[in-house]
Amino acid sequence: MAQSKELGKAGEQAACDFLIAKGYTVRETNWRLGHLEIDIVAQEPQANKLHIVEVKTRTRTEHFDPMSAINGKKIRNLVNAANGYIELHRLPMAVQYDVMIITGTPPDLDIQFIPNAFQPPLRTIR
């Protein structure tokens, strides 16, 4: 379990580093609202757009599609958390939902950035 947590932390740090290198401002990491969590909240450079970034980190030896972990429930939770974040901080911004897939083992990590990976459903409250 400790190795899995370490891999996840390394993946999230690599994702933050990637976004910062692209000029994004990382506003929050591992932001929580009750049981909901947003891996990364970032702001696009020169734009009034908030990015909610879900990070999935896996080793190369696993036979698992990280995108399969982003199901309807996960999307609803991300959208609800994002709505809470925006309301709490009173942010009049457009929101985009991105996914970053990190594969490998530290320090050799590959990053796949999927901007606008999904659209929020019309109904998010259970």
Listed by start position, the domains of the chain span 2-118
When pLDDT is cut at 50, 70 and 90, the band that residue 64 belongs to is low
Q: In CATH, what number does 2-118 get?
A: 3.40.1350.10
Task: Reply yes or no on whether the pLDDT at 1 is more than 50.
Answer: no
| pTM given for the model | 0.88
Count CA atoms closer than 13 A to 16's CA, side-chain side.
Answer: 15
Task: Reply yes or no on whether the pLDDT at 126 is more than 60.
Answer: no
The pLDDT value recorded for residue 3 is 73
Average pLDDT over residues 79-94: 94
At which residue do the structure tokens 């609803």 appear? 76
